[in-house]
Amino acid sequence: MKRKFERVYQFVVRLEGIEPPIWRRIQVPETYDFWELHVAIQDAMGWADYHLHEFLIRNPVTGKQEEIGIPDEDGEMEIIPGWRRKIASYFSEANSLARYVYDFGDDWVHTLELERILPRDKHVVYPVCVAGERSCPPEDCGGVGGYKDFLEIIMDSSHEQYEEMNVWAGGDFDPERFDPSRVVFDDPQKRWKIAFEEA
């Protein structure tokens, strides 16, 4: 059942540590929880959602930083389930920044900033990606350092690993390519079933 909403939250997502910057601007319903926001970020960035994630954000009521994501099975880390927290309870003009970390091995850190809260456009299907630049790094390429090495290899056709890396990356990786109109957003509930109920 779809929830009614009148406002949308516009975020800019920037991947840290890479220049020129890789970024996306997305708009999501105000009713979203952090799990749904995670799925939207994954789809807009171009990640495949193979790994764990977490949001690091200040709780506006307590003033303390909280970790929101997928709790570990042992319960040793105090990670709040993302599906139990609404973004509207955290993000505001006064509390506009968070960090989003994806893949604790490669450690992709993103700056997440709430730019604006806008009235819903009845002609738009949300979530939507309205802008962005540059392709997302391939999964499991080794983080920021590994991505820089990867780019050096695929830009040098004389490199001994050139063919191997191009095949590994799908054969047509272009670091400058990004078209917001081609972003397809998955259903967060479907992703939930794949990740948890069918696992």
Q: What is the residue-wise DSSP string for 35-79?
A: HHHHHHHHHHHT----S-EEEEEE-TTT--EEEEE---TT--S-E
Rounded distance between C-alpha atoms, residue 140 and residue 133, angstroms: 21
Q: Which residues pair with 141 in a beta bridge?
A: none
What letter would DSSP give residue 122?
T
Residues 184 and 130 in one domain: yes
Residues 150 and 115 in one domain: no
pLDDT at residue 75 greater than cutoff 70: no
Residues 154 and 192 in one domain: no
What would the two tokens of residue 152 be?
Answer: 């050096």
Domain annotation covers residue 2: no
| Model confidence pLDDT, tens digit, residues 94-107 | 999 999 999 999 99
Domain annotation covers residue 193: yes
- pLDDT confidence tier of residue 46, bands split at 50, 70 and 90: very high
Burial of 173: CB neighbours in 10 Å, binned 0-12, 13-18, 19+ = middle
Rounded distance between C-alpha atoms, residue 31 and residue 5, angstroms: 7
Residues 188 and 169 in one domain: no
Give the residue, 14 or 73, on which the prediction is more confident.
14
Residue 58 sits in a domain whose CATH number is 3.10.290.30
What is the pLDDT of the chain when averaged over all its residues?
93
* 98, 56 Cβ separation under 8 angstroms: yes
Boundaries of domain holding 170: 137-175
Residues 170 and 192 in one domain: no
Residues 82 and 148 in one domain: no
pTM: 0.94
Residues 91 and 163 in one domain: no
| Model confidence pLDDT, tens digit, residues 112-159 | 999 999 999 999 999 999 999 999 999 999 999 999 999 999 999 999
Residues 110 and 54 in one domain: yes
Domain annotation covers residue 56: yes
Residues 129 and 165 in one domain: no
% of the chain residues with pLDDT over 70 = 95
| Model confidence pLDDT, tens digit, residues 79-91 | 999 999 999 999 9
Rounded distance between C-alpha atoms, residue 183 and residue 128, angstroms: 8
- pLDDT confidence tier of residue 111, bands split at 50, 70 and 90: very high
Residues 67 and 150 in one domain: no
Rounded distance between C-alpha atoms, residue 83 and residue 95, angstroms: 20
Domain annotation covers residue 170: yes
Residue 135 — φ and ψ, nearest 5°?
-70, 150
Residues 165 and 80 in one domain: no
Domain annotation covers residue 1: no
Residue 7, C-beta contacts closer than 8 angstroms, at least 6 positions apart: 29, 30, 117, 118, 119, 120
Number of domains in the chain: 2
3-class state of residue 31 by DSSP:
coil
Residues 124 and 157 in one domain: no
